[in-house]
């Protein structure tokens, strides 16, 4: 990330631009030194910069893939935590489960932001993004599964009938032992 | 993380605490109250002790002997003898022992007068049953030993007053001899036993009091026979009536010779009066006879000459004689005059002179004077003063002295027949505020005290003041409805025919009303109150009407006498109307329908099985017509062992057209074989019980559907041989059968036999379960069983999607004629106590878990969680079952001392427990009545929906203030720091 920032070169107070390839001497205050031909340097420079740009793109896509794979580690850790929490409902297990649900959801919301630094015309971000989304969905599924093992999902009949009022009876009968 | 684990710890800690429902010492009396009564006084003896506190010893119809403070009417001590240990006589011996004769004259006990400890007890047996008499002569001595003379069970006993030893006894074995009087003249050694034999024979035995030797036996024959009692006019003369009730016989047996004289009543009184009865009195020389209209006092002059001294048409009551000096006897006479009573004290030999004449204003709601007891005291000027104890028609006890009521006791509340509740009026604006402003200073002082208490600065006196303030909180005894529904009126009907309204806050009597319809009248000879029903409970439509109750009573003890209905307003205690019915009332069936003014429809069944609809309005009739074909009724004939079901047929085909009367037809009958089964108990669900849900979630998220029906009847039968006392049969010849019967169709849903078990059975029915208590002869222990009934035909409703979308028919109305498929689960447990009553808590919505309330033989109320009586208990419950709250199975039910609802108190003579839901779902109101009354609030699952009374609001307030302050301070600090950062 540090390197990437350097390449970006934003927020500097001053800078010398060595790759100035404008040919018109009038644009400069200082004339070119004798024996310096701008054209040849320009040619050389363009080759170098192309090379550089390719490297950067490569590097960006590599990074993007890395970022996309990051939730996997998270997933493993979450799984371990859940296993530690056990399957009874108490504060700890509920906290774990809800953080396991919340992390993927917040990550999915910020998918665009995560991959913004690697945005490039030459870099194809679709693959990493899909992987990232898939892994987070996996995390979400893990959270839901945990919720279910805790018995907090209304998937049983008992969850829907527990407040079902008794059926009315059509007939009515009273009486008993004579007074 | 640290915080999480801390919370976890707290959670674990709080969940591991088992629910304990006990009270702290300072909470006693906050929500409960207890009142002690003794019942209608039968006999009163004044303690003649010169020194010490003045007291009166009484025996009552509730079989209580009690010593009362004569100054304030408080109870010094009290003993309740058993229900079958009826007190026949009491007296005071040697000035320090209370002697009681009970159980038909077979048990004689002596109690220490100051503290009520029992000194001795003797059992007196005899050849045959007879009247019993207890005589405590003051000067009859036997080796320095004071002697009691007791006639009981056909045998005369002389008993030592010191240790209860029988000194001698004498049998009266003559087959037909019926003792009428046992006479012991003062200062003499002779005992006279007089009685009738063979209808027309008068017998007199003279017995030596020293050794029981028979000295003389005389008899005389009277061809006309005798009627009723004899009255003793002197130590040697009795007066009796002949069998026609029109001739007075004066029989004297001076010196062992019987002589008699006959005087027709018509000779004494000109106009004919009809048959008369003798009022027993012990005033010498005077007796009274009473006919329907008049009471006549007659004096005996010389040898059998009679003279009428007074004839009165007023209701009159006479006391026994009180000897005030050697040869003077005084007695008290009470006469009624509209709103006053006139008390006169006369000397026995001087009818026309009055020792005392007073008029006392008397509350009309107390009715007539039933009994008078007189006592004298010596005034400072050495003259005689008199005080009288009177027993009124409503069973209350009053002490009159110097023309005033010194104290009164509402002892009618000792014999409650039925209880119902009523809401209080809704609070009007501005009532409570004015009250608070009025006592602003008091209010401030109270809060200062409370603050001191919270900050632990209060001295012991302050603590006592705080405690008494808590107990006397005006909040709980207000006469308006409260938000939580804790304040209600308990409407109770007593055996005396009086209605009382008790406030649930402090148990005070708000109003009382002696039912006019329960007065004796021409049409209604011996009216008795039967039951109370809620007649009108306005809550939606008729908000400005007052609620009212229906009192059903009957004109006589047999079931075919005509009934009387009274409607009483529960706010004012006034009788709205009263109906004398032309038919009998055998059953009253409150129907689950109300008319436009919120009057509940009631169906009254008469002796001919006609059904009468009340109220008799066209609106009620149209509602009834709509539901006509769905209304059934059943009758339990426990003598024949038959349960019959009936349906309504058509209008009555009587001579009088009555569109509110309906004929009925028999539908079904369940006949128990009379040689093997006898019905001893029937129980149904309470009509007003609310059930929250029909599903029961069991372990592993499985569902069982409860079989909830209003029309289920639990019947317990025992072998006819085993219907007697416990232990009277061997286990082989005794069994108990429990049935669950559908009362619409007569279908027996469940039947279970407990071999070797015996009654009495106490049972309670709620939701889909019934719990019953009986005796197991094989194990020699009491047992409690539970039967839960589940609907198997609904068990297939397990498709989640159908339930989510509501595509099921679980809540649609069902008919009982569709055959239900039920399964039952049951289990039995041993239980230590025998029971007097059993009830179950009821809450407003039926969500809160239930507790059984058991009235134990020790007159206490024990709360037992229903979870202990769960047929799904097993010895080793699985983890899932444990999570569900199933307790591992044990063979007996635990008795946790803290779960006694009545804590340290006893509800003497406990007869019934009533539970009423409060508006707050967690709380139920419990009223236990017997000779004593007890009321409390219960929260079976603790008060989960409100803060407890000891919740520290101060702490909460302090915490909030501290938090706000902390937020403010940290905010300021962070701002400052940010500013410094920016300047750097």
ipTM value for the complex: 0.79
Whether pLDDT at B425 is above 90: no
Query: Alpha-carbon dihedral of residues B347, B353, B359, B362, nearest 10 degrees?
Result: 40
Q: How confident is the model at residue A51 (pLDDT cuts 50, 70, 90)?
A: confident
Residue B21: the pLDDT is 58
% of chain B residues with pLDDT over 90: 36
Residue where a domain terminates, one of B626, B644, B671: B671
Residue B774 has pLDDT above 90, yes or no: yes
Instruction: Specify whether B861 is located in the same domain as B939.
Output: yes
Contact between chains at A166 and B554 (C-beta distance less than 8 A): no
Q: Please tell me the distance from the alpha carbon of residue B163 to that of residue B144, in angstroms, as a whole number.
A: 13
The reported pLDDT for the residue numbered A19 is 61
Same domain, B748 and B848: no
- Same domain (yes/no): B713, B824: yes
For residue B654, is pLDDT > 60? yes
| Residue B856 within a domain | yes
Q: What are the distances in angstroms from CA B227 to CA B236, B278, B516, B857?
A: 20, 9, 32, 42
Q: What is the pLDDT of residues B375-392, one digit of tens each?
A: 888 888 888 888 899 999
Q: Does residue B327 carry a pLDDT above 60?
A: yes
Provide mean pLDDT across the span B282-287: 80
The mean pLDDT of B705-733, rounded to a whole number, is: 89
| B415, pLDDT greater than 60 | yes
Same domain, B743 and B776: yes
Residue B514 half-sphere exposure toward CB, CA atoms < 13 A: 16
pLDDT at B330 over 60: yes
Quote the domain boundaries for residue B964: 952-983
Is B533 contained in some domain? no
Residue B416 confidence (pLDDT): 94
Same domain, B966 and B935: no
- Cβ distance of B587 and A95 shorter than 8 Å: no
Could you tell me if residue B881 is inside a domain? Answer: yes
Interchain contact B244–A (C-beta under 8 A): no
pLDDT of B552 higher than 70? yes
Residues in chain A: 179
Backbone conformation region of residue B34, classed left if phi is above 0, alpha if psi is from -120 to 50, else beta? beta
For residue B3, is pLDDT > 60? no
**Same domain for B702 and B772?**
yes
Among chain A residues, the shortest Cα distance to B629 is held by: A171
Last residue of a domain, one of B608, B637, B671: B671
Question: Are B777 and B796 in a shared domain?
Answer: yes
pLDDT higher than threshold 80 for residue B433: no
Query: What band does A35 get if pLDDT is binned at 50, 70 and 90?
Result: confident
At residue B740, the pLDDT reads 94
Task: With respect to residue B198, please indicate whether it lies within any of the assigned structural domains.
Answer: no
Most confident of A115-129, B3-17, B510-524, B586-600: B586-600
Give the E-state strand segments of B685-841 in sequence order.
Answer: 695-698, 702-705, 712-718, 735-742, 748-755, 757-766, 769-776, 781-791, 822-831, 835-840
Q: What is the pTM of this model?
A: 0.85
Residue B370 lies in a domain: no
Which chain A residues are Cβ-neighbours of B706 within 8 angstroms? 166
- Confidence check: pLDDT of A90 > 90: no
Out of B250-254, B310-314, B517-521, least confident range: B517-521
- pLDDT value at position B2? 40
Residue B755 CA to its chain's centroid (Å): 34
Name residues 856-885 of chain B within 8 A of A (Cβ): 883
Q: How distant, in Å, are the alpha carbons of B83, B757, B874, B886, B894 from that of B889?
A: 37, 22, 5, 9, 11
Mean per-residue pLDDT, B408-412: 92
Looking at every residue in chain B, the average pLDDT score rounds to 85
- Is pLDDT larger for residue B693 or for residue A12? B693
Lowest mean pLDDT among A148-152, B582-586, B665-669: A148-152
Given an 8 Å threshold on Cβ–Cβ distance, is A166 in contact with B693? yes
- Collapse the DSSP code of B309 into the 3-class scheme (helix H, G, I; strand E, B; otherwise coil) and give the result: strand
Count the domains in chain B: 4
Check whether residue B708 and residue B611 sit in a common domain.
no
pLDDT, tens only, B67-124:
999 889 899 999 999 888 899 999 988 888 899 999 888 899 999 988 899 999 999 8
- Work out the pLDDT band at B974, boundaries 50, 70, 90: very high
B807 chain-A contacts, CB cut-off 8 A: none
Q: Is residue B568 part of a domain?
A: no
- Locate all alpha helices (DSSP H) within B496-574, ordered by sequence: none
- Substitution target from B5, B418, B600, B693 for chain A, most A beta carbons within 10 A: B693
Are B862 and B910 within one domain? yes
Confidence of residue A4 (pLDDT cuts 50, 70, 90): very low
Chain A residues lying within 8 Å of B799, measured CB to CB: 157
Model pLDDT, residue B7: 41
Do residues B597 and B536 lie in contact, with contact meaning Cβ atoms separated by under 8 Å?
yes
Mean of pLDDT values over B473-499? 86
Q: Does B701 touch chain A (CB under 8 A)?
A: yes
Distance separating alpha carbons of residues B95 and B765, to the nearest angstrom: 53
Give the residue, B1 or B96, on which the prediction is more confident: B96
What is the rounded CA–CA span in Å between residue B923 and residue B917?
7
Residues B749 and B662 in one domain: no
Q: What percent of chain A has pLDDT over 70?
A: 79
B52 in a domain, yes or no? no
pLDDT band at A9 (very low <50, low <70, confident <90, very high): very low
In the prediction, which pLDDT does B419 show?
Answer: 95
| B968 inside domain | yes
Q: Is B910 exposed, middle or buried (0-12, 13-18, 19+ CB in 10 A)?
A: buried
Instruction: Say yes or no: B716 and B596 in one domain.
Output: no
Choose one of B646, B671, B696: the last residue of a domain: B671
Do both B824 and B880 map to the same domain? no
pLDDT tier at B9, thresholds 50, 70, 90: very low
Residues of B within 8 A of A163 (CB-CB) are 692-693
Q: Are strands B933-938 and B924-929 parallel, antiparallel or unpaired?
A: antiparallel
Per-residue confidence (pLDDT) for residue A8, from 0 to 100: 46
């Amino acid at each position: 990330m540090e390197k990437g920032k350097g390449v970006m070169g934003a927020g500097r107070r001053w800078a010398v631009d060595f790759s100035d390839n404008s040919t018109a001497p009038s644009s400069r205050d200082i004339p070119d030194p004798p024996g310096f031909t701008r054209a040849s340097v320009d040619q050389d420079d363009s080759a170098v910069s192309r090379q550089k740009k390719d490297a950067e793109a490569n590097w960006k896509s590599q990074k993007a893939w890395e970022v996309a794979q990051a939730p996997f580690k998270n997933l493993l850790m979450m799984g371990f935590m859940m296993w530690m929490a056990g399957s009874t409902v108490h504060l700890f297990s509920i906290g774990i489960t809800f953080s396991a649900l919340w992390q993927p959801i917040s990550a999915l919301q910020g998918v665009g932001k995560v991959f913004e630094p690697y945005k490039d015309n030459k870099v194809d971000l679709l693959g990493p993004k899909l992987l990232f989304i898939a892994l987070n969905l996996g995390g979400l599924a893990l959270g839901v599964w945990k919720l279910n093992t805790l018995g907090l999902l209304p998937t049983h009949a008992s969850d829907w009938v527990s407040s079902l009022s008794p059926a009315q009876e059509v007939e009515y009968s009273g009486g008993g032992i004579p007074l | 993380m640290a915080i999480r684990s801390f919370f976890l710890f707290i959670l674990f800690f709080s969940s591991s605490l088992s629910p304990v429902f006990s009270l702290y010492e300072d909470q006693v009396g906050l929500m409960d109250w207890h009142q002690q009564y003794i019942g209608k006084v039968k006999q009163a003896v004044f303690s003649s002790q010169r020194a010490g506190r003045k007291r009166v010893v009484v025996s009552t119809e509730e079989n209580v002997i009690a010593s009362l403070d004569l100054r304030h009417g408080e109870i010094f001590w009290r003993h309740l003898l058993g229900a079958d240990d009826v007190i026949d006589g009491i007296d005071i011996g040697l000035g320090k022992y209370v002697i009681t004769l009970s159980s038909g004259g077979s048990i004689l006990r002596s109690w220490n007068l100051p503290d009520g400890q029992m000194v001795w007890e003797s059992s007196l047996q005899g050849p045959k049953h007879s009247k019993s008499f207890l005589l405590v002569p003051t000067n009859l001595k036997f080796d320095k030993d004071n002697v009691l003379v007791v006639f009981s069970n056909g045998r005369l006993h002389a008993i030592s007053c010191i240790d209860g030893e029988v000194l001698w006894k004498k049998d009266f074995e003559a087959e037909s001899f019926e003792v009428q009087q046992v006479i012991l003249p003062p200062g003499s050694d002779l005992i006279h036993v007089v009685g009738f034999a063979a209808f027309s024979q008068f017998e007199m035995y003279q017995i030596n009091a020293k050794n029981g030797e028979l000295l003389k036996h005389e008899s005389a024959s009277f061809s006309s026979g005798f009627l009723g009692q004899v009255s003793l006019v002197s130590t040697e003369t009795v007066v009796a009536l002949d069998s026609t009730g029109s001739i007075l016989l004066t029989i004297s047996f001076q010196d062992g010779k019987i002589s008699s004289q006959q005087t027709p009543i018509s000779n004494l009184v000109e106009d004919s009066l009809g048959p008369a009865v003798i009022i027993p009195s012990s005033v010498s020389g005077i007796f009274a006879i009473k006919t329907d209209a008049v009471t006549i006092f007659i004096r005996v002059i010389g040898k059998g000459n009679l003279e009428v001294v007074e004839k009165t048409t007023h209701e009159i009551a006479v006391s026994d004689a009180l000897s005030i000096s050697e040869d003077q006897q005084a007695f008290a006479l009470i006469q009624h005059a509209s709103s006053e009573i006139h008390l006169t004290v006369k000397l026995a030999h001087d009818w026309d002179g009055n020792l005392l004449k007073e008029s006392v204003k008397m509350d009309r709601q107390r009715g007539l004077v039933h009994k008078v007891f007189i006592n004298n005291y010596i005034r400072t000027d050495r003259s005689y003063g008199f005080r009288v104890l009177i027993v009124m028609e409503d069973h209350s006890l009053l002490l009159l002295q110097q023309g005033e009521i010194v104290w009164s006791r509402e002892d009618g509340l000792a014999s409650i027949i039925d209880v119902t509740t009523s809401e209080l009026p809704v609070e009007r604006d501005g009532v409570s505020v004015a009250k608070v402003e009025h006592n602003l200073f008091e209010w401030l002082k109270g809060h200062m005290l409370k603050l001191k208490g919270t900050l632990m600065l209060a001295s012991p006196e302050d603590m006592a003041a705080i405690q008494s303030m808590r107990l006397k909180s005006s909040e709980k005894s207000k006469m308006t409805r409260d938000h939580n529904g804790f304040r209600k009126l308990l409407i109770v009907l007593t055996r005396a025919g009086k209605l009382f309204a008790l406030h649930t806050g402090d148990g005070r009597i708000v109003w009382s009303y002696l039912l006019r319809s329960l007065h004796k009248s021409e049409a209604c000879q011996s009216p008795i109150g039967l039951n109370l029903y809620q007649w009108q409970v306005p809550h939606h439509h008729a908000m400005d009407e007052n609620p009212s109750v229906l009192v059903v009573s009957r004109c006589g003890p047999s079931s075919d006498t005509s009934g009387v209905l009274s409607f009483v307003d529960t706010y004012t205690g006034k009788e709205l109307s009263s109906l004398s019915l032309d038919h009998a009332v055998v059953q009253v069936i409150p129907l689950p329908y109300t008319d436009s003014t919120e009057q509940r429809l009631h169906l009254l069944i008469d002796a001919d099985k006609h059904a009468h609809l009340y109220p008799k309005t066209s609106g009620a009739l149209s509602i009834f017509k709509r539901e006509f074909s769905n209304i059934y009724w059943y009758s339990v004939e426990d003598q024949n062992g038959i349960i019959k079901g009936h349906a309504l047929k058509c209008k009555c085909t009587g001579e009088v057209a009555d569109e509110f009367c309906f004929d009925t037809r028999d539908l079904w009958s369940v006949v128990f074989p009379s040689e093997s089964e006898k019905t001893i108990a029937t129980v149904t669900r309470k009509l007003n019980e609310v059930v929250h849900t029909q599903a029961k979630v069991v372990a592993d998220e499985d569902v069982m559907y409860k079989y909830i029906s209003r029309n289920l009847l639990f019947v317990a039968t025992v072998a006819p041989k085993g219907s007697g006392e416990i232990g009277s049969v061997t286990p082989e010849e005794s069994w108990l059968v429990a049935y669950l019967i559908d009362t619409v169709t007569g279908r027996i849903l469940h039947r279970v036999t407990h071999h070797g078990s015996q009654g009495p059975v106490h049972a309670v029915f709620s939701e889909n379960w019934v719990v019953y208590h009986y005796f197991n002869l094989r194990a020699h222990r009491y047992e409690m069983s539970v039967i839960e009934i589940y609907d198997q035909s609904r068990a297939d409703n397990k498709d989640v999607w159908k339930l989510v979308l509501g595509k099921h028919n679980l809540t649609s109305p069902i008919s009982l004629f569709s055959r239900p498929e039920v399964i039952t689960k049951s289990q039995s447990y041993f239980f230590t106590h025998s029971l007097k009553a059993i009830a179950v808590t009821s809450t407003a919505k039926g969500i809160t878990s239930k507790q059984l309330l058991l009235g134990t033989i020790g007159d206490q109320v024990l709360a037992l969680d229903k979870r202990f009586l769960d047929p799904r208990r097993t010895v080793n419950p699985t983890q899932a079952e444990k999570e569900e709250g199933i307790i591992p199975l044990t063979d007996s039910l635990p008795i946790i001392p803290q779960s006694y609802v009545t804590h340290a108190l006893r509800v003497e003579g406990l007869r019934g427990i009533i539970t009423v839901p409060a508006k707050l779902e967690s709380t139920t109101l419990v009223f236990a009545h017997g000779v004593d009354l007890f009321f409390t609030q219960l929260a079976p699952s603790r008060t989960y929906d409100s803060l407890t009374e000891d919740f520290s609001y101060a702490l909460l307030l302090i915490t909030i203030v501290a938090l706000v302050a902390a937020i403010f301070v940290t905010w300021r600090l962070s701002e400052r720091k940010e500013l410094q950062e920016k300047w750097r």
